[in-house]
Chains A and B, each alone.
Chain A
Amino acid sequence: MTRPRSAAVVVALLRAQLRLELRTFESLPAMCLFSVTAFLLFHFGLDVDSLSGNLASGVLWVTLLLAALLAINRVYVADAEQGGFDAFVLSPAERSTLLLAKILVLLIYLVVVELVAVPAFAILLLEPSLWQAMPSMLGAIVLGDLGIAVIGALVGALAVRTQARDLLGPLVSLPLLVPVLLGVARWTAPLFDASRAGAVALRWPLVLALYDAIFGLIAFSLFDFLLED
Chain B
Amino acid sequence: MAGDRRRRLRPNDEIYDRTQLDRFARRTHSVSAVALRALTRRYGERTALAEVTLSLETGQTLAVLGPNGAGKTTLLRVLATLLRPHEGELEVLGHSLPADGWLVRGRLGLLAHEPMLYRELTVRENLRLQAKLHGVGASRIEELLAAVALERRGDEPLRTLSRGLVQRAAVCRTLLHEPELLLLDEPYANLDPAARQIVEPLIGRSSGKTRVIVSHDPQAALKEADLVLGLSRGRAVFIAPPAELEDSEFAGLYE
Contact = CB atoms under 8 A, between A and B. Distances in A.
Contacts of B107: 1
A82 B119 contact: yes
A87 B133 contact: yes
A11 B133 CA distance: 10
11 contacts: A2-B135, A5-B135, A13-B129, A19-B121, A83-B116, A84-B116, A90-B108, A90-B110, A92-B102, A92-B105, A228-B84
A4 B135 contact: yes
B128 interface: yes
B82 interface: yes
B132 A8 contact: yes
B255 interface: no
Interface of A: 1-5, 8-9, 11-13, 15-16, 19-20, 23-24, 78, 82-84, 86-93, 228-229
A119 B132 CA distance: 39
B105 A89 contact: yes
Contacts of A1: 103, 106-107
Contacts of B103: 1
A29 to B, nearest CB: 16
B112 interface: yes
Interface residues of B, number: 32
Contact of B80 (A2, A3, A90): A90
Contacts of A2: 135
B30 to A, nearest CB: 21
B115 interface: yes
Nearest to B106: A92
Contact of A82 (B83, B102, B117): B117
B135 A19 contact: no
Interface in B116-150: 116-121, 125, 128-130, 132-135
B81 interface: yes
A83 B80 contact: no
Contacts of B117: 82-83, 87
> Which 6 residue pairs of A and B lie closest in terms of their CB atoms, listed nearest first?
A4-B135, A83-B116, A92-B106, A12-B132, A91-B133, A87-B116
B32 to A, nearest CB: 19
A92 B132 contact: no
Most buried by B among A5, A8, A82, A93: A82
A11 B105 CA distance: 21
Given A1-B103, A19-B120, A83-B115, A93 B82 contact: no
Contacts of B129: 12-13, 15-16
A229 B82 CA distance: 6
B118 A90 contact: no
B100 to A, nearest CB: 11
